[in-house]
Structure 1
């Protein structure tokens, strides 16, 4: 595993850990200012919209796991294919479980850190038993 691949995998680990503790500033620091998120049924949205949505969910607990299935690095750009499983616990204790694939494009910035620049998130609600 190369140093770049290790650093990219660390971005995912850091994102999940920060999401679990509600550390939105750390999550926002893992994305570029021009990041674009693609999700089913919604128009693309950027960093400001992500921050607002995250702020609206401050009383929600998020926990997740990832299974990184592929990382390819091409100079200062890379893509990452990942299977995510997320459990969202609402303030009233109700849980929502979501899972699915993501395809993320990252860019190595001038400070040497890898950050998300595009993210296609196909995570959807799991079927209930």
Structure 2
């Protein structure tokens, strides 16, 4: 009798251990797609789409600046994209993605290249961490991020 219960427990644990990584991999893939899509939208100048990645309750910390809420993050992004004297481009380097149920943590580096109309280029390398939470509609959005310029 105990042997049968032990066998059942082992089967359940094996089943669960096989599905947890799949779920984590699916969440990581969805978040990676969301980040890649955001980069494409930003680089294409789609100011109507650049706020989509951020949850309404986002708190964004960038070294040297006050914490930003959703409105401040969106204002900064749309203002940058509407600046006709400069061209902004982001490149994404994902270092690590960790999944914890409805939370995903991404360690990454954004590289921002700003081209001035006079031909000058400015490059900013920005390591950081984005924390995503699955929203009620199933989409993954950033609820916290921390970044700094090297």
TM-score by length of 2: 0.76
CA contact 1:32–1:117 (8 Å) conserved in 2: yes
> 2:48 aligns to what SS in structure 1?
helix
Residue 71 of structure 1 deviates from its aligned partner by 0.6
Aligned pairs, how many? 124
Gaps of 5+ in 2: 1-21
Are 1:111 and 2:134 counterparts?
A: no
CA contact 2:112–2:124 (8 Å) conserved in 1: yes
What is the correspondence of 1:63-78 to structure 2 with a 5 Å cutoff? 63-78=89-104
1:108 and 1:48 map into 2 onto residues whose CA distance is 20
User: Cα deviations across residues 65-93 of structure 1 (Å, max 9, x unaligned)?
Assistant: 22211111111111000022220123444
Q: Which residue of 2 aligns with 1:14?
A: 37
Residue 94 of structure 1 deviates from its aligned partner by 2.7
Report the RMSD for the aligned CA atoms in angstroms.
Answer: 1.6
Larger helix proportion of the pair: 2
Mean Cα deviation higher: 83-92 or 114-123: 83-92
Larger strand proportion of the pair: 1
Higher relative contact order (CA 8 A, sep 6+): 1
Higher Rg of the two aligned structures? 2
Alignment equivalent of 1:39, drawn from 62, 65, 80: 62
Gaps of 5+ in 1: 125-129
TM-score by length of 1: 0.87
Q: Which residue of 1 aligns with 2:52?
A: 29
